[in-house]
Amino acid sequence: MRIAFLTEGATEAAFVAGASDEEPWPRAGALVILVERILGIRGRTEPWSPTLALGAGAGPILHRGRPLLRAAARAGAKAAVMLVDADTKGNKRLTTLRRNRDAVLAEKPSLAIPTAIGVAVEKFDAWLLADEMCLCRVLGLPNPAEPMGNPEDLKGTRGAADDAKAKLNEYLSKDRFGPRLFLEQVRAIVMEMDLELVARRCKSFQDFRKEVRRQMGALFSA
């Protein structure tokens, strides 16, 4: 089933800047794998993403959400997932995503498809940090001496020590198995991390998981 994935960053898309659709690496990125795991439908989606949204930041998704959703429906998508980082604007961004979804239903009902929306606090990277034991196992690292605090409390500016993306990159740079492709590392973490643990430690993931099940569960119930 074709599902539209509208997301902003390289981590959640497992996207390499400049890549074309003909490149050999897998196109099922971290967000695709995560949604399939939430629904228990591994390998049953046909991901669709507009070039504009992939790796382009939150702006296109927030400000052009309606035409992107309509384009997804015209491309044959039966449902959509919209996920952006909070970046300290979580409530505002969630409201914008909901307005975009509701506007499509009001303006063009024939192009309205079930749409699960979410805002990762403060970044999608925080969800990948929530299961530290998995993170270390995947990367071949020793278990941490002390557990990390709440990943959603990592609210530093880009590159700061308390920035979720910077913290995740610290782990990835120590990968004992060598300089594997970034997307391979991220995909491996998402495939193995304990989703119950992530939900307990990251309320934004807990909310997103409920939203995915509510909006999309019935499509795959058969």
Indicate the pLDDT class of residue 183, thresholds 50, 70 and 90. confident
User: For the CA atoms of the chain, what is the radius of gyration?
Assistant: 17
Q: Whole-angstrom Cα distance, residue 119 to residue 183?
A: 21
Q: Whole-angstrom Cα distance, residue 81 to residue 192?
A: 21
6: enclosing H helix or E strand: strand 2-7
pLDDT tens, position by position, 201-210: 999 999 999 9
pLDDT tens, position by position, 20-67: 444 444 457 899 999 999 999 988 999 988 865 455 678 889 999 999
Is the four-CA dihedral 81, 125, 21, 94 of positive or negative sign?
Answer: positive
Cα–Cα nearest to 200, from 156, 151, 165: 151
pLDDT tens, position by position, 135-169: 999 999 998 878 788 999 998 887 788 899 999 99
Q: Which domains are assigned to the chain?
A: 2-124+182-220 (3.40.50)
The distance of Cα 178 from the centroid of its chain, to the nearest Å, equals: 25
Q: Whole-angstrom Cα distance, residue 3 to residue 45?
A: 6
